Structure 1
Amino acid sequence: MTVVPGLRADTVNLICDHCGTTDEAVPAVLPEPEVVWTVLGEHGWDGSPFAVGPHRCPGCTAAALATPPVPPADAVPAPERDRGAWRVDVEEVAGVRVLTPSGDIDVLVADVLREALATALAEDRDVVADLSRVGMIDSTGLGLLVRAHRDARQRGRSFCLVAPSRFVLTVLHTMRLDAVFLVFDHRSQALTCLTPQV
């Protein structure tokens, strides 16, 4: 499914991939036509920041958090991502807090990442988000990174990203956030930049 132009001028229809619910929205001026992150956020939807799905309505998002969907009986089993197994490894390196999520960032794991970011930022240190294990990020995850950047800046600290995947880089570029975040290819580059030289 996708977010499609609405029947009325200057509207779009949000279509839930799970239940088919349709919601009409009037988007603000978007940087690119395929970017729908702001519309999703305003209406409480979750999913890809792009017009091409997957997208979930608020009801299905809440249901997904409560109980994972049951696959059809004839479905080929796929490796399950256990929400409890997903984690954020936290290290301190030269006075910098380094957070490394263990996989893709979406609404199912947002609470774990939100707590790790809040704890790191509360310690009044520079924070590095090592995304080397993250292939994809949805609008919820993107919102967490933007919030962490803002919170760090308000504390006079730095928040930077390391080794984002091509997908994450595309999301950042499309949303014009690549100029907002400090982005490094390798952790050592970030630490060199953030560690005071004596």
Structure 2
Amino acid sequence: MAPDASPHTLAVTIERFGEKCLLGCAGDLAGSGCSFLVAQVTEALPGSKVIELDLERVEFVDSMGLGTLVRLHRTCKEAGCRLLLVNVNGRIRELLNLTNLHGVFV
């Protein structure tokens, strides 16, 4: 079976405010969107003390997406940066609560 060549369904905008970087996410945090988000956060990491992921327009997060958020949290922490999730919608908040990850990102 050939690898899935479909484009990811996650869009990310990046705004920098001094040592704080805001990444606005829209779409699905799943599949290839996960590696795309990792690349965007990695690009934003140098010079950042705080990275905020605005999840207001994220419609879906799967298990790979949850794993990506945990990985990004660890990567940021190791780099001396704090990763925060902001504008988390109700469905994603419930998912974070069910998986006991809600306290990791506040």
TM-score bracket relative to the smaller structure: 0.7 to 0.9
Change (3 A) 1:86 1:172: closer
Which structure has the larger Rg over C-alpha atoms?
A: 1
Q: Helix, strand or coil for the counterpart of 1:102?
A: strand
Partner in structure 2 of residue 92 of structure 1: 16
Selected match of 2:81 from 157, 170, 179: 157
Per-residue CA deviations over 1:150-173 (Å, capped at 9, x if unaligned) read: 111112221000111111111111
| 1:54-95 Cα shifts (integer Å, max 9, x gaps) | xxxxx7xx74x235xxxxxxxxxxxxxxx3674210111243
Candidates 66, 72, 87, aligned match of 2:5: 66
**8 A Cα contact 2:53 2:83, kept in partner:** yes
Provide the C-alpha distance between the structure 2 equivalents of 1:179 and 1:133, rounded to a whole number of angstroms: 21
For 2:92, which of 164, 168, 171 is the aligned residue? 168
Contact 1:89-1:99 within 8 A present in 2 as well: yes
Which secondary structure does the structure 2 equivalent of 1:164 belong to? coil
- Aligned position for 2:26: 102
Partners of 2:10 and 2:31 in 1: CA distance:
12
Q: Which amino acid aligns with 1:136?
A: F
By percentage of residues, which structure has more strand? 2
Deviations 1:162-185 (A, max 9, x none): 111111111111111111111xxx
| Structure 2: unaligned runs, 5 residues or longer | none
Normalized per residue, which structure has more helix?
Answer: 2
Query: CA offset at residue 106 of structure 1?
Result: 0.8
- Normalised to the residue count of structure 1, the TM-score between the two structures is 0.48
Whole-angstrom CA distance in 2 between matches of 1:166 and 1:87? 20
Higher relative contact order (CA 8 A, sep 6+): 2
Q: Unpaired segments of 5 or more residues in structure 1?
A: 1-58, 68-82, 183-198
Number of residue-to-residue matches in the alignment: 105
2:50 equivalent to 1:146: no
